[in-house]
Chain A
Amino acid sequence: MSRFKDLQKNLFGGTTSNARQFGMIFTLVAIVLLFQFLTDGLTLRSDNLIALFQQNSYILILAIGMLMVIVAGHIDLSVGSIAAFAGILVAKSMTEWDLPWPLAILFGLAIGAAIGAWQGFWVAYIGVPAFIVTLAGMLIFRGGNQFIGNANTIPVPEGFRVIGSGFLPEVGPNTGYNNLTLLLGLAACLAVIWREVQARRTRHEMDADAGPMWVSILRMAVMVGVLAFVALRFASGRVGTSFPVSGIILVALVILYSFYTRNTAGGRHIYAVGGNSRAAELSGVKLKRVNFFVMMNMSVLAALAGMIFVARSAASGPQDGNGWELDAIAAVFIGGAAVAGGIGTISGSIVGGLVMAVLNNGLQLQGVGTDRVQIIKGLVLLLAVALDVYNKSQGRFSVIGSIMRPFRREAPATPASSAAEREPAKTSVSG
Chain B
Amino acid sequence: MPGERAALIWGVVATILVVVSTIGVFLVAPEDADQGVIQRIFYFHVAIAIASLVAFAVSCVAGILYLRTRSARWDDVGEASIRIGLLFSVLVVITGSIWAKASWGTWWVWTDPRLVTYLIVVLIYAAYFVLRSSAEDDRRMRYSAIYAIAGFASVPLSFYSVRVAESFVHPVVFTGSGANMPGSMLIWFVVSQAAMIALFIALLEVDLVGRRSERALRRLALRLENA
Say whether A associates with B: no
Interface residues of B (CB under 8 A from A): none
Interface residues of A (CB under 8 A from B): none
